[in-house]
Amino acid sequence: MAKVTIKDNGGNVVAQFDSNSEENVAAQGQAAGVPIPVACGVGACRMCVGKCEKGAEHIDREAHGEVHIGLEDDEVLTCIAGVKSDAPANAEIEIELENL
Ligand code: FES
């Protein structure tokens, strides 16, 4: 599966992991040791939001729920976003979190 890089809001890399398509990005990041902040968990706030700087084509923004708020085109809610199951193994995804 795709490699996901998580950055804090200063642009520092805080985690890299091989993703799966079964879990949302926030849960995978937390499992990798990143304290990704999650509040509602259902796509209705901005606590978990990140800017997808690379590989957005491999992200399904509503893989694990519906987006209930307005987002910029490059933003993802990591509590409901997932990596597409057809993402190639060498795909690279970079997400910079707003609240980390
Ligand atoms: S935690 Fe509220 S939208 Fe993700």
Average pLDDT score, the chain? 96
61-73 pLDDT, tens digit per residue, is 999 999 999 999 9
CB-CB contact of 25 with 18 (8 Å): no
Ligand 1 pocket member 45 (CB < 6 A): yes
Confidence of residue 6 (pLDDT cuts 50, 70, 90): very high
Nearest CA to ligand 1 atom 3: 43
Domain 3-97 sits in CATH at 3.10.20.30
pLDDT given at position 1: 78
Ligand 1 pocket member 34 (CB < 6 A): no
19-55 pLDDT, tens digit per residue, is 998 999 999 999 999 999 999 999 999 999 999 999 9
The domain segmentation of the chain, as residue ranges, is 3-97
Res 4 pLDDT > 90: yes
**What span, in angstroms and rounded, lies between the C-alpha atoms of 3 and 8?**
17
Res 77 pLDDT > 90: yes
